[in-house]
Structure 1
Amino acid sequence: MPPIIVYFLGASRSIRIAWLLEELGLEYEVRGAEREGNKAPQWMKDEVGGLGKFPVLKDGEVLVTESGCIAEYLCDKYDSAHRLLPAIGDPERYRILQWVHAAEATFMLHSLAILYTRWNQPDGDVKATEKNLAMNVEKDLAFFQSELSKTPGKFLFGDDLCVADAMMEFSLDFILTRELGVKAQEWPEVEQYVRGCQETGTWAKARERTGYKL
């Protein structure tokens, strides 16, 4: 079988895919790089085409983009025991997938609005804009903490990891590390959840192998 290749941009969502590959016990090659001028290097964009955004997964002749789509692809193809994502038709699958999609469509969307304000608003009251935008992030984190309190274990759906954890860990760590909408209060349960994810052996292996650092 041709090797699985992960195009890994440093300090990015790419850690989600490396972590999943470690969880699935799959062999993979890392083609990684750090940003140049706050952008992916041109050689990476040239190799994958499209929008030139990362991570990108190449599995033989199959090229998959968007971290949520890659995560679902890997689970559907390689997780035959449905350990990380239940089978199609199982209601639990869609409870998990709602977090796979929320990681980007809600949590990252709201936090990136703040980051882009810092980067791209040369005039005006950036702090006031951040304060208004922070309300969405605060609601997101409060909802996450509420849902986390319902689980019998340290992860979203108990003591066993699932694909939702692989997606949400980065989003939450990104928000906390970049202090995007979190300055008004503490989020100890969220911080504990992120630490729990990062203390798993597979996350640590993915970090070591890729050189990831947020």
Structure 2
Amino acid sequence: MPQITLYFLQASRSIRIAWLLEELGLDYEVKFADREAGKAPQWLKEEAGGLGKFPTLRDGDVLLYESGNITEYLCDTYDKSHQLLPPLGDSKRYAVLQWIHASEATYALHALAILYARRFQKDGDPAKTEEALSINVQKDLDYLASELEKSPGKFIMGDEVTAADTMMEFNCDFVFAMELGTQGRKWPKIEQYVKDCQGTESWVKAQKKTGHKL
């Protein structure tokens, strides 16, 4: 049995870690669950422990939460060639880490604010709230599009997948699929970026192994 177990909730950030594991060429077991009434089932929360959020990763005796944290751990532990995350002291490491942290602290934060407003706002005008919140999402996407234009390849850092991509692909796919803040606008460069990410052999393997879909 593989020593790595990925606790995977459908339609969640869990695909980030499955893709990363495939990029690293690691053997891993998937504990998969569909959502029940939009939430993680209790059995998966109990098996994973912690806050009951996903992805969760077990590597032997090590139990890890938060996709950014799991990403850094896996890269630092298993990416001996430093292809996905450059080593400590290398300035390129911090360029990749910028995207690892921005994927949650900026991109997910702004998109989820709209999703939660749709679901839970009781007073006021939901459409106006969403329009106002959309400004941040569109600025985020504009910035990513401009950085992709500067990239010497089809991924954020160039022609090879890095941890920046394994973290950011989900955000883009999620925002476009749910139309969170897009307000009818299109970002062809980012749409192509998502296709390129999902066209990699490693992403395809991760999707098939986990059954991921939005």
Could you tell me which residue of structure 2 aligns to residue 113 of structure 1? 113
Q: Contact 2:117–2:130 at 8 Å: present in 1 too?
A: yes
Could you tell me which residue of structure 2 aligns to residue 87 of structure 1? 87
Could you tell me which residue of structure 2 aligns to residue 39 of structure 1? 39
Q: Secondary structure at the match of 2:185?
A: coil
C-alpha deviations, 1:169-206, integer Å up to 9, x for none? 00111111100000242111110100100000110000
C-alpha deviations, 1:4-25, integer Å up to 9, x for none? 0000000100000000000000
In 2, distance between residues paired with 1:121 and 1:112? 13
Could you tell me which residue of structure 2 aligns to residue 128 of structure 1? 128
In 1, distance between residues paired with 2:96 and 2:82? 12
Could you tell me which residue of structure 2 aligns to residue 53 of structure 1? 53
CA-based RMSD of the aligned residues comes to 1.0
Deviation at 1:37, TM superposition (A): 1.5
Deviation at 1:124, TM superposition (A): 2.1
Could you tell me which residue of structure 2 aligns to residue 206 of structure 1? 206
Moved more, 35-44 or 9-18: 35-44
Q: Which amino acid letter does the alignment assign opposite residue 39 of structure 1?
A: K
Unaligned 5+ runs, structure 1: none
Could you tell me which residue of structure 2 aligns to residue 28 of structure 1? 28
Unaligned 5+ runs, structure 2: none
The ranges of structure 1 where at least 4 consecutive aligned residues each deviate by more than 3 angstroms after the TM superposition are none
Q: Secondary structure at the match of 1:31?
A: strand
In 1, distance between residues paired with 2:201 and 2:156? 18
> Normalising to structure 2: TM-score of the pair?
0.98
Could you tell me which residue of structure 2 aligns to residue 78 of structure 1? 78
Q: Secondary structure at the match of 1:8?
A: strand
Q: Would you say how many aligned residue pairs link Structure 1 and Structure 2? A: 214
Q: Which amino acid letter does the alignment assign opposite residue 29 of structure 2?
A: E
Q: Contact 2:2–2:28 at 8 Å: present in 1 too?
A: no
Could you tell me which residue of structure 2 aligns to residue 139 of structure 1? 139
Q: Which amino acid letter does the alignment assign opposite residue 55 of structure 2?
A: P
Q: Percent identity?
A: 61
Moved more, 122-131 or 58-67: 122-131
> Normalising to structure 1: TM-score of the pair?
0.98
